[in-house]
Chains A and B, each alone.
Chain A
Amino acid sequence: MLRTTVKGILAHKVRLALTAVSIVLGVAFVAGTFVLTDTIKNTYDGIVVDTYEGVDAAVRTESSFDTQTAREPVPESLIARIESVDGVADARGILWGDAQIVDAEGRAVRNGDAATLGTAWGGNDTISPLSVREGREPTGPGEIAVDARTYREHDLRLGDAVRVITVTGSHTYTVVGVSGFAGGDDLAGATVVSWALPDAQDALDRIGRFDSIQVEAAPGVSETALQASLASVLPDNFEAVTGSDLVDEESEGFASELAFFNVFLLTFGFVALFVGAFIIYNTFSIIVTQRTRELALIRALGASPRQVRMSVLVESVIVGGFASLVGLALGVLVANGLTSLLGSFGVEVPAGDLLVADRTIVASLLMGTVVTVLSAVGPARKASKVAPLAAMQAVSASARTGSMRRTVAGLVLTLAGVAGVVAGLGDGGIALVGLGALGTFIGVGMLAPMISRPAAALIGAPLRRLGGVAGGLARQNAMRSARRTASTASALMIGLALVAMSLILAASVTESVGGQIERQGVAPYLVRNDQFEFSPALIEAFDGLPEIGKAYAVSFVQIHVDGATKDASAIDPVALDPDGAFPALSLGTTQGDVQALVDGGIAVQADEAADQGWMLGDVLDVEFPDGPAPQTIDVIYEESGATGNYLIAESTAIEHYAELPASYGMIVPATGAELSAARDAAQRIVDTEYPGVEVLTLAQFADAQEAEINSLLGLITVLLGLAIVIALLGVANTLALSIFERTREIGLLRAVGMTRRQLRQMVRFEAAIIATFGALLGLSIGVFFGTAFVRALSGQGIDRLVVPGGSLAVLVAITTVLGIVAAIVPARKAARMNVLSAISQA
């Protein structure tokens, strides 16, 4: 039986190869994602290990916040106490902060999207990862060293005077050295400026303080012993951790950030595989139908239904396994491709030598094979049901539209899927949303044959007029094989639904954000950079200008309320006072007095307060990085787009946060000053001192937000393109198989005078009908998903639902055209058929 199977595969190798491509692409994407993220993780872990080489323990303040919020600094005086502890060989204060180098032309120096960092030079001791490559270490005031990559790639010279912007403002230093970092040139692409300790403390606003103190153990003292002896001398709110814990902590922190990225990319791989499953199912179904006679003959010769079923399944194992192997090999290429794709959308990926983990190999092979075999189960069952008598009957495509059982199952799955999506978006979690979506797609896929006949009739109706006989025949063909049309269209539906959903999400977010900026913005100008993080010294500089009445910084921070992490904003309450001298931001309808926030207290958005059952004057159990500090609700406000659901005064934040960079800024011109004068003055400071920061009108700010959303949308669409390409291969595959099946009919049409051109048209029209049907199915699901998503996000300030009709129409049109493109090869093949041999085919 196995030999028969293998021979069967060889006999249909072109068809099966075409089918295998759909699995190859999906597997390649999954494998590529694994390879890419493993490589990134591996590279990063190497850097982390190198960074903490020689560090046996660290002393720092305790914090209940995650790494996004900086810990409170430790006082310099603690070093002396630590050095006196038994088993300590050396202790050194560590400082890291944002430091943006500006080159001689006034441009921000940056390596892609990587961080811009500054630190204190630790000397060439065991603890410090820095080492001198060229020149010397910075020792005096006004001196810095720059990492080797930045030095090389940005044409810096020893002796150059460069400006560095830190949290305390813009400073000028002389480059005296080039640093290596832990055996490499750089820290994952980040630019690294290093100062002598006093300059570092000055520039990073840490005079008399450090982020943490790193400790080297005396010979023979273990990390844990060191940790224990340090812990015994530390004051309250301080902790000692081992060097290994630091490495793990950092590595895990990165892993969890990377996990999001990994899942994001894998999602597209899974979607591709899912689409592939539809194609496999379809191809195997068609092949089984076309082989009915052959299968019946085998049955007549004594094969059991089980043997027939197994032969189809074995065929799928061989095809799936082979496709997975090819996909795995291609995965390495995909990893490289993804790196450059992400790069072109502004996501810089640090990558070393590509790492193919065992997990990648096992997962890819398993996934590709399992998906193929599962998709072949249905067709295999159908094959086993072929009666031996069928050997004597004519073969034709099944005209059945779907059994009762199938319809009921499809209906149940669709409803369950829809319920899953809705519940998942409510608070059931993202996994439920994914499962629900899966169920919806499969359910609709099962129902599609029921509507494919009238749908094809409807979609094809204009073709009868436009396309003449070719159009009419194409329409009839699409209607004739209802199930085939439906399953081919269903594969296309998936990608389309996701693109349509993304379009709706993007349009709704853009509109909501734009609307909020218009509603809330009182100040005519806003200030931002790409990272939404810049030195608050810039705002102070604005404040010093005569053309500017008042400039404000808004800083995004994290707080804990009743133990839960919440996003909050810190701002000078004066900006919020509509009756004040320089109002900048409107909170809509408010209860309470915003000015009261100056003396502490918190403002909460109205819906959030209602959800939590809080009233004006309630005292909340708030915790900041430096510890618990209960806050009274002084204000309840309406509009949350610009600030989030919690708001505290800037003065409160300065008191409780070690660092408070500005997230964005607002500029109110001086009373009586020309608007444009204020803008020009602000622009001059930005141009000369703070490259990368932009001064924007409210409309420009909204446009910039929109551009970012659209860029992300572009990336998602490109990644979903894979699923669409696979589905289009499915269209080509189905048509090729249908043409093969209709050889005699095509011969007849040619014999009675159909030109090659008309024949090609007929095939392309059929493709257009299938593609349009798939697009419309996808569109309806996409509109539902998109609407549900936007509704679910209403709590996050997405308060407008926009269904971009124009874009969606274009999407359908593009899909139709792509369907026609997919039909080019099968159409040409059909047109090249020899009329005589086509007619005489048995």
Chain B
Amino acid sequence: MSTAATARLTTSPTPGRAGHGSIAAQTINARKTYGTGDAVVNALDGVTVELEAGRFTAIMGPSGSGKSTLMHCLAGLDTLTDGHVYVGDVEITRMREKQLTLLRRERVGFVFQSYNLVPTLTALENITLPLSLAGRKPDRQWLDTVVSTVGLGNRLRHKPSELSGGQQQRVAVARTLVSRPAIIFADEPTGNLDSRSSTEILSFMRRAVRELGQTIVMVTHDPVAASYADRVVFLADGRVVDEMTEPSPEAILDRMARLSR
């Protein structure tokens, strides 16, 4: 594990602890096109966005606006056609698969809409999975903090199939927290949940930002979910068209309605 990439990753600023104002991730003029000729689709059409550390940012937009593509590219799951992506001050645009894997493991966390947990592992094992994959011992104290924040208590030894949808998503968020990534990406984390569970998980994420100083970027099309964020970035047709800070659900709904007109 002594590749140049590892060295660069480990010498970069301590993840998760950056104060307000510094940049956790950014894109500069990001373009992503699919297909060729007449059938060409511009999923991202020159997106430049800065995501501040220690804040909860929501990315919103109608379907096809490019919000998921943007998140995938920011997280190193997908590559740009043109432009640059930085995580912290490290450019990941031209990283190779192996370096990207290490980036995902060390500096980025994910929460998907569903199927976030490995069914054969217990909740606790799922939480420590990224650390185990990296061959690292969990920081006991930090793990306890995270686990107590999750509030699963004695269900930690249960398999995912024995947990409710909301509990599963909380475990997924805890998993991202435990390795203290520079940034956590959540892709419609409440998409499959009822409203009570949604509230539970969104509050949990906001607490992670406020109390633990974590950076979270969430893609959603639900104005209520987005209202938990400190800042909302609006995307349409592959471009950033607007943004809003300290939003209320009503204001977001209003803005969305105008966007889709």
User: Do A and B make up one complex?
Assistant: yes
Interface, chain A (partner B; CB < 8 A): 468-469, 472-473, 476-477, 479-480, 744-745, 748-756, 758, 835-836, 839
Rounded to whole angstroms, the CA-CA distance of A493 and B106 in the bound complex is 43
Partner of A753 from the list B72, B97, B117, B134 (CB cut-off 8 Å) is B134
Residues of A within 8 A of B98 (CB): 755-756
Residues of A within 8 A of B116 (CB): 748
Q: Which residue of B lies closest to A755 (CB)?
A: B101
B121 touches A473 (CB 8 A): yes
Residues of B within 8 A of A745 (CB): 115, 118-119
Q: Is B110 an interface residue (CB 8 A)?
A: yes
A750 touches B129 (CB 8 A): no
B120 touches A476 (CB 8 A): yes
Q: Which residue of A lies closest to B185 (CB)?
A: A751
A752 touches B110 (CB 8 A): yes
Partner of A835 from the list B77, B121, B129 (CB cut-off 8 Å) is B77
Q: Which residue of A lies closest to B98 (CB)?
A: A755
Q: Which residue of A lies closest to B112 (CB)?
A: A839
CB distance from B175 to the nearest CB of A (A): 7
Q: Which residue of B lies closest to A746 (CB)?
A: B118
Residues of B within 8 A of A744 (CB): 115
Contact with A along B53-83 (1 / 0, CB 8 A): 0000000000000000000100001100000
Closest 9 CB pairs of A and B: A753-B105, A476-B120, A469-B132, A753-B104, A755-B101, A753-B133, A753-B130, A836-B77, A752-B130
A-B contact pairs, 6 of them (CB 8 A): A476-B120, A751-B104, A751-B112, A755-B98, A835-B77, A839-B115
Residues of B within 8 A of A754 (CB): 101, 105, 133
A752 touches B105 (CB 8 A): yes
B77 touches A751 (CB 8 A): yes
Q: Is B244 an interface residue (CB 8 A)?
A: no
CB distance from B109 to the nearest CB of A (A): 8
Q: Is B256 an interface residue (CB 8 A)?
A: no
Q: Which residue of B lies closest to A468 (CB)?
A: B135
A758 touches B112 (CB 8 A): no
Residues of A within 8 A of B134 (CB): 753
Q: Is B102 an interface residue (CB 8 A)?
A: yes
Besides A745-B119, A756-B97, 11 other A-B contacts (C-beta < 8 A): A476-B121, A480-B119, A745-B115, A745-B118, A748-B112, A749-B133, A753-B106, A755-B101, A755-B133, A756-B98, A839-B112
CB distance from B114 to the nearest CB of A (A): 9
Q: Which residue of B lies closest to A747 (CB)?
A: B115
A-B contact count (CB 8 A): 68
Q: Which residue of B lies closest to A831 (CB)?
A: B97
Chain B positions 42-62 with a Cβ under 8 Å from a chain A Cβ: none
CB distance from B116 to the nearest CB of A (A): 7
Residues of A within 8 A of B133 (CB): 468-469, 749, 752-755, 758
A752 touches B104 (CB 8 A): yes
A751 touches B118 (CB 8 A): no
CB distance from B57 to the nearest CB of A (A): 20
B72 touches A836 (CB 8 A): yes
Residues of B within 8 A of A755 (CB): 98, 101-102, 105, 133
CB distance from B135 to the nearest CB of A (A): 6
Q: Which residue of A lies closest to B1 (CB)?
A: A755
Given contacts A753-B106, A753-B130, contact A473 B118 (CB under 8 A): yes
Residues of A within 8 A of B77 (CB): 751, 835-836
CB distance from A170 to the nearest CB of B (A): 76
A751 touches B110 (CB 8 A): yes
Residues of A within 8 A of B117 (CB): 748
Rounded to whole angstroms, the CA-CA distance of A469 and B101 in the bound complex is 16
CB distance from B119 to the nearest CB of A (A): 7
Q: Which of B115, B120, B130 has the most C-beta atoms of chain A within 10 angstroms of its own C-beta? A: B120
Rounded to whole angstroms, the CA-CA distance of A752 and B134 in the bound complex is 10
B132 touches A468 (CB 8 A): yes
B110 touches A473 (CB 8 A): no
B129 touches A469 (CB 8 A): yes
Q: Which of A753, A755, A756 has the most C-beta atoms of chain B within 10 angstroms of its own C-beta? A: A753
Residues of A within 8 A of B120 (CB): 473, 476-477, 479-480
Residues of B within 8 A of A839 (CB): 112, 115
Rounded to whole angstroms, the CA-CA distance of A744 and B118 in the bound complex is 10
Rounded to whole angstroms, the CA-CA distance of A756 and B100 in the bound complex is 11
CB distance from B112 to the nearest CB of A (A): 6
A753 touches B135 (CB 8 A): no
Rounded to whole angstroms, the CA-CA distance of A346 and B219 in the bound complex is 73
Q: Which residue of A lies closest to B187 (CB)?
A: A839
CB distance from B233 to the nearest CB of A (A): 21
Rounded to whole angstroms, the CA-CA distance of A836 and B78 in the bound complex is 7
Rounded to whole angstroms, the CA-CA distance of A468 and B118 in the bound complex is 16
Residues of A within 8 A of B129 (CB): 469, 749, 752
Contact with A along B125-137 (1 / 0, CB 8 A): 0000110111100
Rounded to whole angstroms, the CA-CA distance of A469 and B130 in the bound complex is 9
Residues of B within 8 A of A750 (CB): 101, 104
Residues of B within 8 A of A473 (CB): 118, 120-121
Residues of A within 8 A of B121 (CB): 473, 476
Rounded to whole angstroms, the CA-CA distance of A472 and B110 in the bound complex is 22
CB distance from B208 to the nearest CB of A (A): 17
Rounded to whole angstroms, the CA-CA distance of A786 and B72 in the bound complex is 60
Chain B positions 131-153 with a Cβ under 8 Å from a chain A Cβ: 132-135
Rounded to whole angstroms, the CA-CA distance of A745 and B116 in the bound complex is 8
A748 touches B118 (CB 8 A): yes
Given contacts A468-B135, A473-B121, contact A753 B78 (CB under 8 A): no
CB distance from A470 to the nearest CB of B (A): 8
Rounded to whole angstroms, the CA-CA distance of A823 and B66 in the bound complex is 38
Residues of A within 8 A of B105 (CB): 752-755
Rounded to whole angstroms, the CA-CA distance of A756 and B102 in the bound complex is 11
Partner of B102 from the list A479, A480, A753 (CB cut-off 8 Å) is A753
Q: Which residue of A lies closest to B125 (CB)?
A: A472
CB distance from B170 to the nearest CB of A (A): 16
Partner of A749 from the list B97, B106, B109, B118 (CB cut-off 8 Å) is B118
Residues of A within 8 A of B102 (CB): 753, 755
Rounded to whole angstroms, the CA-CA distance of A480 and B160 in the bound complex is 14
Residues of A within 8 A of B101 (CB): 750, 753-756
Residues of A within 8 A of B130 (CB): 752-753
B115 touches A752 (CB 8 A): no
Rounded to whole angstroms, the CA-CA distance of A468 and B136 in the bound complex is 11
Residues of B within 8 A of A749 (CB): 118, 129, 133
Residues of B within 8 A of A756 (CB): 97-98, 101
Rounded to whole angstroms, the CA-CA distance of A754 and B112 in the bound complex is 16
Q: Which residue of B lies closest to A745 (CB)?
A: B118
Residues of B within 8 A of A472 (CB): 132
Q: Which residue of A lies closest to B121 (CB)?
A: A476
CB distance from A815 to the nearest CB of B (A): 25
Rounded to whole angstroms, the CA-CA distance of A755 and B97 in the bound complex is 9
Contact with A along B84-115 (1 / 0, CB 8 A): 00000000000001100110111001101001
Q: Which of A468, A752, A836 has the most C-beta atoms of chain B within 10 angstroms of its own C-beta? A: A752
Rounded to whole angstroms, the CA-CA distance of A347 and B27 in the bound complex is 74
Residues of A within 8 A of B135 (CB): 468
Partner of B115 from the list A477, A748, A753 (CB cut-off 8 Å) is A748
Rounded to whole angstroms, the CA-CA distance of A477 and B132 in the bound complex is 17
Rounded to whole angstroms, the CA-CA distance of A755 and B132 in the bound complex is 12
Rounded to whole angstroms, the CA-CA distance of A714 and B73 in the bound complex is 58
Q: Which residue of A lies closest to B129 (CB)?
A: A752
Residues of B within 8 A of A469 (CB): 129, 132-133
CB distance from B5 to the nearest CB of A (A): 12
CB distance from B74 to the nearest CB of A (A): 13
Residues of A within 8 A of B104 (CB): 750-753
Q: Which of B78, B110, B129 has the most C-beta atoms of chain A within 10 angstroms of its own C-beta? A: B129
Residues of A within 8 A of B119 (CB): 480, 745
Residues of B within 8 A of A753 (CB): 101-102, 104-106, 130, 133-134
CB distance from A266 to the nearest CB of B (A): 44
Given contacts A476-B120, A745-B118, A836-B78, contact A752 B175 (CB under 8 A): yes
